[in-house]
Amino acid sequence: MTRRELIMIAGLAVAVFAAFVLSLAIGSTRIPPSRVVEALIGGGVSDEDRAIVMAVRLPRAVTAMLAGAALGIAGLQMQTLFRNPLADPFALGVSSGASLGVALVVLGSGSIAGLFGSTTGLAGDALITAAAIAGAGSVLVLVLAVSSRIGDATVVLIFGLMFGYAVSACVTVLVGASAPERLQQWAQWGLGSFSGVTWPRLRLFGGLTAFGLALAAVTPKQLNALLLGDRYASSMGLAVRRVRVMTMAGASVLAAVVTAFCGPISFIGIAVPHLCRGLTGTGDHRVAVPAVVLMGAVVALAAQTVSVLPGDGTVLPLNAVTALVGAPTVVVVLLRRRRHGGHV
């Protein structure tokens, strides 16, 4: 790593810590950061503050960090896999696939409580998560099958978008056929939230995201080789098919798990890898993977914090916040790439 890259990654680590403390401090009631830190290390703060921090805000912040890192890594993996800067779990319909899986279980079984209720058993979570992974994985396999035949990145991207719409339409049909009270809850889930993951649920959520993140962390060499293209990668002795399948599986798990637990959260997947490339100045995965994990955590924590800024228990939809921040980011990044003669 160059000096600049090291400094940027260290800076991102500091930013994660700051965003983490801030997100614990801000909510329906504000708790000063000093008291937040005291509550964390077991100092003398009121039981009420401690309860808010430990039982509500800490799992929420941890969820946000993991979800942001997971979405960022899934986006990075897809951008590399498709060699397309606009690829992400959303654009390629992977999130829609996960949503379909969730919808089939939740609307089919009639227990949407599993998504929000803090008391639902692990089995329900596991079922929903498995369905989301299956949905996301099938969409990604389909899109990749098309991309290996077509090769034209733009066509593949449009195919992914169209596939996403078609899958969303299936979800809409399912939703339309459900009872009105479930509709309300479904819409709520669709807005995205990091608050639904309580401590017990965090074990499954954290375990699966950690698995996906670890997979990305041990394959930077393979991802770098894929940047050159499949033929180059195989000419260097890389088992391209195996690496593609592995990366695809990792990206599907990450995107699906986040979708199952937090709802379909947009823009983090596409924006975070670009922000990291802009910051570190390289597309090398040895730098990009740690940078994306940290940047994803920062962005998700920030979005979470902004969503509760109005106070008084008013919560802005998370997806509105990520889109308002993410869309301009992507536009700026693309404009800069054009100016620098990059190919989109």
Q: Which residues bind other proteins (CB under 8 A)?
A: 79-80, 83-85, 218, 220-221, 224-225, 227-229, 231-232, 234-239, 277, 281-284, 286, 340-343
Q: Six-digit token pair at 329?
A: 């980011």
Q: How many CA atoms lie within 13 A of 203 on its CB side?
A: 6
**Shortest Å distance, C-beta 84 to other proteins:** 8
- Whose tokens are 């319909």? That residue is 93
**Shortest Å distance, C-beta 221 to other proteins:** 3
Among 256, 270, 295, 297, which residue's Cα sits nearest to residue 67?
297
CB nearer to other proteins: pick between 30 and 241: 241
CB nearer to other proteins: pick between 149 and 231: 231
CB nearer to other proteins: pick between 110 and 229: 229
CB nearer to other proteins: pick between 150 and 173: 150
**Shortest Å distance, C-beta 284 to other proteins:** 5
CA-based torsion, 344, 282, 242, 139: positive or negative:
negative
Q: Six-digit token pair at 67?
A: 């979800």
Are 21 and 32 in contact by the 8 Å Cβ rule? The answer is no
The DSSP output letter for 196 is: T
CA distances from 264 to 55, 254, 334 (A): 24, 12, 24
CB nearer to other proteins: pick between 182 and 286: 286
**Shortest Å distance, C-beta 342 to other proteins:** 5
The DSSP output letter for 121 is: -
**Shortest Å distance, C-beta 255 to other proteins:** 20
**Shortest Å distance, C-beta 56 to other proteins:** 39
CB nearer to other proteins: pick between 149 and 343: 343
Could you tell me the maximum CA-CA distance found in the chain, to the nearest angstrom?
63
**Shortest Å distance, C-beta 3 to other proteins:** 12
Q: Six-digit token pair at 326?
A: 């993410």
CB nearer to other proteins: pick between 131 and 291: 291
Say how far apart CA 321 and CA 312 lie, in whole Å.
18
CB nearer to other proteins: pick between 84 and 319: 84
**Shortest Å distance, C-beta 237 to other proteins:** 4
Say how far apart CA 242 and CA 275 lie, in whole Å.
29
Say how far apart CA 76 and CA 83 lie, in whole Å.
10
Helix (H) or strand (E) holding 291: helix 285-307
CA distances from 202 to 80, 138, 189 (A): 29, 25, 17
